[in-house]
Amino acid sequence: MTYGFVGLGQMGAPMARHLAGPDLIVYDVRAEAMAPFAGKGARPARTLAEVAAASVISVMVRDDAQVDEVAGALLPAAARGTVLAVHSTIRARTAETLAERARPYGVEVVDAPVSGGFMGADAGTLAVMVGGSDAAFARVREPFGAFADLVLHVGSVGAGTRMKLARNLLHFVSFAAAAEAQRLAEAAGVPLGRLGRVVRHSDAVTGGPGSIMLRRTTAPLEPDDPLYDVMRHVYALGEKDLALALELADELGVDAPLARLACERLAAGLGLPEEET
């Protein structure tokens, strides 16, 4: 199988590096980005149309507009049966529209956004969330495994992007919460560098926010659900600790809106009826 890779930036370059060899065709608007791959036996393409010779093509570019531009050049040149995989974080409807555009050419599209940052791309330990047909997933599973150690089929085209957006919502809201925690710690005279070390250490042990993502639905839990008592325990700890943190914030004059909102919504978020908390 010949593999194509378009977009050799901070994420694309290390991902493509795990595929480097005589069966890889690479393309980037910057010639200097392609040069290291030539040294590893891969073939730098002069145009996007040359990449269309590959049977599976990965695209890792900046945004929806660039995905559309790349697809516009690839689709007319691609052979029937080609799989076009979009790793960029885009709108779900962009992936769905692209799949419709590709159908007359006999090209299958999968949206396959990744999670794990450039560190995971470099180490080959990314998570890939794949939306597409069963047949297309079967084609991409092995090559994606070169740069990822978790490759999941999550539904039809668009499902991968929807999952990535939900995952990133947690990611960046957590950043805002981390900033709030740092403001509280700084006002309390706590060294921020050491707080960061504790957070990274304990999250590596517990799994962080993902450790409570165990339910198959966000509907309220029934009392006989095996997770019911687990979530009641989580709520009891959270309610106590958030109350103590907010008490400290009030004493120090630190605004903590995310903590207050979490206190209000924690029970429902864990699937516990209000009357049970």
Active site residues: 164
Q: What is the residue whose two structure tokens read 């978020």?
A: 269
How close are the terminal C-alpha atoms of the chain, in Å? 57
Give 124's contacts (C-beta < 8 A, 6+ positions apart): 18, 146, 147, 148, 149
Amino acid at 252: L
Between strands 126-131 and 114-115, the pairing is antiparallel
Helix (H) or strand (E) holding 149: strand 148-155
- Per residue, the 3-state secondary structure of 200-253, as one string, reads HHHHHHHCHHHHHCCCCCCCCCCCCCCCHHHHHHHHHHHHHHHHHHHHHHHHHC
Chain centroid, CA 96 distance in Å: 18
Q: What is the residue whose two structure tokens read 């004059």?
A: 253
In angstroms, the CA 189 to CA 185 distance is: 6
In angstroms, the CA 15 to CA 121 distance is: 5
Q: Considering all CA atoms of the chain, what is the largest pairwise distance in Å, rounded to the nearest integer?
A: 67
Contact present, 19 and 39 (Cβ < 8 Å): no
Task: Identify which of 128, 105, 115 has the alpha carbon closest to the alpha carbon of residue 167.
Answer: 115
